[in-house]
Chain A
Amino acid sequence: MGGEATVLDKHGQTQVVIASEPIAVNHKLALENLSAGDLVIKYGRAIGQATKPIGVGQWVHIHNLDSLRGRKPKN
């Protein structure tokens, strides 16, 4: 808990984020606050939609992120 992560982008910019929960190596943490329904951006592109509010530093994975593709349309 409370681990500090230094995030590097392609342009050499850095951002320091405090991880608010344990996050496995190679997994994602949120760089900004997201509301349910917000698009989640990685590689500069939408990789799905937040299914619940996600705070900065929280683990982002299948428990709070949903694909928008390859699935039956929601009723």
Chain B
Amino acid sequence: MSERYFQGYPREKGLAGTRNWLAVIPSVFCANETVARIAQASPFCRPLLHSNGCGQLRPDLDVVERTLIGLGRNPNVGACLVVSLGCEAASGEEICQGIALSGRPVEHLVIQQEGGISRSAEKGRELVKRLAAVLKGQTREPRPVSELLLGVKCGSSDATSGLAANPATGRTVDLLLEDGGTAVFGETTEFIGAEDLLASRAADEKIEKRILEIVKRMEDRIIAMGVDMRGTQPSTGNIAGGISTIEEKSLGAISKSGTKPINGVYEYGERVQGPGLFIVDSPGKEDVILTGLSAAGANVIIFTSGGGAPQGCPLVPVLKVASNREMICAMFEHVDVDVSQVLSGEKTITEFGEAIYGHVVSAASGETVKAELCSYDASSGIYTIGPII
């Protein structure tokens, strides 16, 4: 086990916080404006604005509720305020109860009961003041890296991603797992054409079958739309960057998961129980997978790219690892780690795997990542698949 440490906020169960946020969570999109106004009250607040919670069928509402609970229970959250309108389909009470099981302080505010945004914002500011006082008393202390849950994701991929940024990140994942940590990845669409390689790493037959099932489920959904997947996967930018087919993109993408056995597959919004390496069934769409990784309990996320991806997320530091030197020069303010020297032959994937691990530990200990520095971290999105009604 590990002797490597980071400076984190101790939490109730296994994973330490790498940030200490007061999450202000709308149970429905109709509460977004009120949440945004309340969140201005304190620098501890992170508003998790989204577009779900009503006008949806129960299977999707279940996903929405468990995802919002997962966000409220993320290790980087010290306290929560859930804001409901009052007439929505998603249950604010259940979301509060689910979060409260973690032992975190949770408050619930219902706009229709308070009587409008002005009164709700006033009450919300009082609640925020009380919750923020709890957070102010909490301090960082040394925590073992086994209390890290590292999410990995790739985006704005080009042909360099699969040769440098992804395999170097895969090396970091291997190192963290060797130190007793946990890692999670998704983007099921980008398993297509490489799923047998992932299935061959499954820890048991049930997991092997499940990996193949989630890929078939995703591919069947695409085919059912009756259109060519090209133009979306690979995207226009992927194709311009030299990726021709989904198989090529997938083979490059899966290397970010390293080489270790895969210990389980989770549905979107579920909390991962580590240690080990896990899959969360999710699309690659940035806001949706970053939210899914956050709900799974990730306290640090690595986002690899050719060099053109600025996106972060509200609760978790998202570290940008990029491999296309030309793009890195153009998008410099959004890149944390430049691994383009793998392609020029000046450094190896193994060397960068260790270097990225160092950046993960620094970010976990409080060092600001570029997405935070640029405030490129406001979006959330939830993976629903049913009709909007």
Identify the A interface with B (CB < 8 A): 24-28, 42-43, 45-48, 60-62, 65-72
Provide the bound-state CA to CA distance between A9 and B189, in Å.
28
Provide the bound-state CA to CA distance between A72 and B225, in Å.
9
**In the complex, what residues of B have CB within 8 A of residue A70's CB?**
189, 192, 219, 222-223, 229, 233, 246
Q: Is the CB of A42 within 8 A of B251?
A: yes
Provide the bound-state CA to CA distance between A43 and B189, in Å.
19
**In the complex, what residues of A have CB within 8 A of residue B252's CB?**
43
Q: Is the interface of A mostly helix, strand, loop or mixed?
A: loop
Q: Is the CB of A48 within 8 A of B247?
A: yes
**In the complex, what residues of B have CB within 8 A of residue A45's CB?**
193-194, 247, 251
**In the complex, what residues of B have CB within 8 A of residue A67's CB?**
193, 229-230, 244-247
**Interface residues as binary, B217-248 with A (CB distance below 8 Å gives 1, 0 otherwise):** 00100110010111001000001011011111
Selected A-B contacts with CB under 8 Å, 30 pairs:
A25-B242, A25-B326, A26-B158, A26-B159, A28-B159, A28-B242, A42-B248, A42-B251, A43-B251, A45-B247, A45-B251, A46-B193, A46-B247, A47-B248, A47-B251, A48-B245, A60-B244, A61-B242, A62-B239, A65-B244, A67-B245, A68-B245, A69-B193, A69-B219, A69-B245, A69-B247, A70-B189, A70-B229, A70-B233, A71-B223
Closest B residue to A63 by CB, please name it: B244
Q: Is the CB of B242 within 8 A of A48?
A: no
Is B160 interfacial (CB 8 A cutoff)? yes
**In the complex, what residues of B have CB within 8 A of residue A66's CB?**
245
**In the complex, what residues of B have CB within 8 A of residue A43's CB?**
162, 248, 251-252
Q: How many B residues, CB 8 Å from partner?
A: 28
Q: Is the CB of A27 within 8 A of B246?
A: no
Name the interface residues of B137-183: CB closer than 8 Å to any CB of A: 158-160, 162
**In the complex, what residues of A have CB within 8 A of residue B219's CB?**
69-70
**Closest CB in chain B relative to A37 CB, distance in Å:** 15
Q: Is the CB of A72 within 8 A of B226?
A: yes
Closest A residue to B240 by CB, please name it: A24
**In the complex, what residues of B have CB within 8 A of residue A47's CB?**
193, 244-245, 247-248, 251
**In the complex, what residues of B have CB within 8 A of residue A65's CB?**
244-245
Q: Which of A24, A48, A69 contacts B244 (CB 8 A)?
A: A48
Contacts A42-B251, A43-B162, A70-B192 given; indicate if A26 touches B223 (C-beta within 8 A).
no
Q: Is the CB of A27 within 8 A of B159?
A: yes
Q: Which of A24, A26, A46, A48 contacts B160 (CB 8 A)?
A: A26
Provide the bound-state CA to CA distance between A70 and B251, in Å.
15
Provide the bound-state CA to CA distance between A66 and B222, in Å.
17
Is B324 interfacial (CB 8 A cutoff)? yes
Provide the bound-state CA to CA distance between A45 and B195, in Å.
12
Q: Is the CB of A69 within 8 A of B246?
A: yes
Q: Which A-B residue pairs are the 10 nearest by beta carbons?
A: A67-B245, A70-B229, A47-B248, A26-B159, A26-B242, A48-B245, A27-B242, A43-B251, A47-B247, A65-B244
